[in-house]
Amino acid sequence: MTNELVGTRIAFLVAPEGVEQVELTAPWQAVQEAGGESVLVSTAPGKIQAFRHLDRADQFDVDETVGQSDPAAFDALVLPGGVANPDFLRSQRDAVRFTRAFFDAGRPVAVVCHGPWTLIDAEVVRGRRITSWPSVRTDLVNAGATWVDEEAVVDTAGPNTLISSRRPDDLKAFCAAIVDHFRPAGDRSRPAGAGLNGVEAARLDADKLR
């Protein structure tokens, strides 16, 4: 174990089913081996069902639900791929808001494969340099991104650091970029509710008082 990410808390946002298992487990393990805390966030409590391409794989326990989770309690966000996973998340208002909050607060985000679909609906890819699974290229370009064919892209020309990769074969480079660019805790310059609109922030504050 190394200590690059000691003190960090990293959110992994996935749908109840459809995430490509290795795109969840490889960066999850990289964060933990670097001393960080990995937290599985989903849209519903219980377990999520991972897949190996089109076949059911393992199930994993959800740590927090996205509707109740505070983005400001995390140092960074990972969005794994799988076709069904981001296609579901992009239709969930809380998931889209949770994702956008990291960009608004200037915190790093890492996304792989089909994962950028969620970023498109969060309206955070315009002007960003990014890669993805090839079939997502046209969607990203239409949303204003600059798409490149590279195994790992680190873009800092925006409000935050955005890390992206194309496919499972790129996971070694993707995980290395995560460890290199996810900042340690202690630089949470914004309070809980950062990046959320006034109504959402008020809801978080009300929840804390219950």
Positions marked active-site: 113
- Do the bridges between strand 162-165 and strand 152-155 make them parallel or antiparallel, or are there none, so unpaired? antiparallel
- Phi, psi of 2, rounded to the nearest 5 degrees: -105, -175
What does the angle CA 28 – CA 38 – CA 80 come to, to the nearest 5 degrees?
45
Rounded distance, CA 189 to CA 207, Å? 22
Rounded distance, CA 88 to CA 24, Å? 16
* CB of 51 closer than 8 Å to CB of 171: no
